[in-house]
Structure formats: C-alpha cells, structure tokens
Structure 1
C-alpha cells in the first residue's frame, strides 16, 4: 500500500485533463482520485452524507466576500467555515478507513490523520462537556472472542 497521500491528478488540474487521466474530483477532500474509487457506491454514499451536512460555502478570501462556485474543481486553496473544517474531519477519517478496508491506498497520508484527530480533540477541549471526567462509557475488546493461539503454533 502507498501511504504517501498520492493523488490521481494535482490540485488545480484542468478538469478535462484530469478526467483524461481517469480521475474524478472529490469535493470532500479537494483531491482528484481514480474514477473507480471515487465512483464506488460506499464512497459515493459517504460523500453524499458529507454534502447533506452542508450546504458548504468556500471562499477565496478570509472575509468570505468572494464565494467560490460549488462546481469549481480547479481549487488550489480555499477558505472554509470552521464548521466545515470540523465536519470534514469526520468524513476524511471515515473515507481513509473505508479505502483501507477495500484494499486501496488511503486517500490521505498519516500526517493528515494526525491533523484531523488533533483538531477534533482540540476543538472539544476548547469547550469541554460538563461530564468530560464522568464515568460514562463501558468498553470491551472487539471481537469479544478473538481466536487464541495454542501452544505449538496451532490455532
């Protein structure tokens, strides 16, 4: 597996050129991904869930005066609302896990996962829930009955 964060075409690629390379643009990640991965039904459902959590407005300027049209696929950079940045984390982590379970190279590299998880925890800790230190969750290993290796190497 390639964990480098390789993408099908570079950000800012002309859509016709990217599609000639067999790529489709993913508005969740702002990346061009291989068409067969992008069009996978589970991936499309995940992207649709992200879109349903919108609407998302992206901007050229930090002040939010110049909105980027939603169909713009030639993005090299954009300003987002904090809400979108937080919701993106949820779906980026899900997409990464989904792709790995399908045996595909992940759509993001590990530093992006570190960024996502750190950002989510930092956001929670800025305004922690009142029950943060209460005992609220019961956990157990999953699966509950993992095969145990017998002496001698037999299962």
Structure 2
C-alpha cells in the first residue's frame, strides 16, 4: 500500500488522526447510544460530569467507556512526545497533553500506529467483557476508523519518526445499544 493511499483525510503532509466520529467529537454514525454526548463539548464540562481524558483516544470519556488497562499500556509503551506545530516546535509533555485542554496536537507516526494496535486490543477486551456493547463508544464502533487503522498498520513506507499525525480532541457518545 502506498503512502498516497493511506493519507486519506490529510492536511498538507499530515494525516488527520480522525474519522467520521470526530471534531469536536460527536456521534455521526447513526448508531444508538445509551449516553449521548456524556462529557459535553469542553474540557470544563467533561470534568464537571466526572469524565476522564483518555490519551489513547485523545478524548473525554465517561467511566463506562474508559479502559484503564489499555490507557496504561499505551502510556507505558514509550515516552510519547507531542508538538503544537508540525515543524516540531512547541513540544508538549504527556502530562500537559493529558489535561485534555488541547484541541489538536501533532504526533509521530509510531504513536499513530500504536493507537491503532491498542484500539483493536480495546475492541477485543470490550467484546470479551461482561459489559460488552455498553462500554463501546462512538469512536471505537466506527467502521471507518477500523478501516483507517487497518491501512495505518499495513503502511511500510513511512518512518516511525515522521511527524505526520494530528491528534484531534473528541467527545464521543458511549454505551452502544445495538451494532
């Protein structure tokens, strides 16, 4: 698969790390969810509602759709870095990014790949859990995102250090009622 085939939603040379359920993340899939916009549309609103910011998703999630283990695995994979600008200026630490206050940050290709690996792992954990569909959010359930991640994981032409991915803040629905 060539780089041009995977670029999809891009801005310049940067892949928009998003899908149909993004920015500022609401459900556009047409699926029914138990909790509609449970974290609101701002970091302040999300905190007031008891939501947690997940770096794997780069999203505010209610407890029901937050996976502590997968988040920890993602965080501990390596010391991730973020930047405010595509030219690698304005470096942001994990802790700064994890405040959930940034609408957009740039990340290296390896982080995008790891996001996809861990999203597949998350989906499997959800399907094997007793909560099942009720802990699936509108980002995880989005077929376009699954297709996108499949292409990302098959990409072989990019360096893992390419700063070509944009993390966009999301506020997904939670608790899929039916697939």
> Same-fold call, TM > 0.5?
yes
Query: Rg: which structure is higher?
Result: 1
**Residue ranges of structure 2 left out of the alignment (5+ in a row):** 1-26, 159-179
Q: Spell out structure 1 runs of 4+ moving beyond 6 A.
A: none
Q: Structure 1 stretch 78-87 or stretch 67-76: which is displaced more?
A: 67-76
Partner of 1:110: 143
- TM-score normalized with structure 1 length: 0.64
- TM-score normalized with structure 2 length: 0.57
Aligned-residue offset at 1:30? 0.6
Please state which structure has a larger fraction of its residues in strand.
2
Partner of 1:71: 98
Partner of 2:124: 97
Contact 1:60 1:66 in 2 (8 A): yes
**Residue ranges of structure 1 left out of the alignment (5+ in a row):** 128-155
SS at match of 1:103: helix
Aligned residues: 118
CA RMSD in angstroms, aligned pairs only: 2.6
Q: Structure 1 stretch 101-110 or stretch 90-99: which is displaced more?
A: 101-110
CA–CA separation in structure 2 for the residues paired with 1:103 and 1:66:
39
- Choose between structure 1 and 2 for higher RCO, CA contacts under 8 A separated by at least 6 residues: 2
Partner of 1:119: 152
